[in-house]
Amino acid sequence: MKKIFGGIGAAVLSGLAVLMVGMQVQAEPTRATMPDIDKLIHYTTVTRGEVTEHLMTTREAIEAVQKGQPIPAGTHVALVDYRGGKVFRYFIIEKGENWGADYDERRRTGDWQFQWFKPDGTINTAENTARCQSCHTSRADRDFLYSFNEMRRFELK
């Protein structure tokens, strides 16, 4: 690099690094859509300090988990993030037929895709879904869900 740019090579690289640190990572487009929250079943709540998260999904997903069957394609799992008693944001994961093929094997979370939504239901482009996806890869034995055991224990009515 120094041969090409002379004495300014290091300065250019330093400036580029500063610019990149200041850049905000934007959400990548995914296939996950905002579900009709009113049609989902609330199966558990997680409280983290002043944040309350209600987790919701379909009856079919809960039944599949409880029967030891795969969660069906078309399933949404919603994490509704409340702060100060109001919806702050939604974290949605949706499973689709062969959706895992959209990603390199190292990033694949079965056929689940992830998206953050604002309280009004529009995509929140300021949230980085790849970060969430990378954490969920550690849950392959639980269909990539952190709340898999809560689904398994939930009593359907």
How does pLDDT run across 22-68, given as a tens digit for each residue?
A: 445 566 779 999 999 999 999 999 999 999 999 999 999 999 999 99
**Please, which residues have CB within 8 angstroms of residue 28's CB and are 6 or more apart in sequence?**
129, 130
How does DSSP classify residue 123? B
Contact 94, 122 (CB under 8 A): no
- On the question of pLDDT at 17 being above 70, the answer is no
- On the question of pLDDT at 117 being above 80, the answer is yes
- The rounded Cα 107 to chain-centroid distance in angstroms is 12
Q: Which domains does the chain have, with CATH numbers?
A: 26-153 (3.50.70)
- Among residues 92, 134, 127, 128, which one has the least CA distance to residue 113? 92
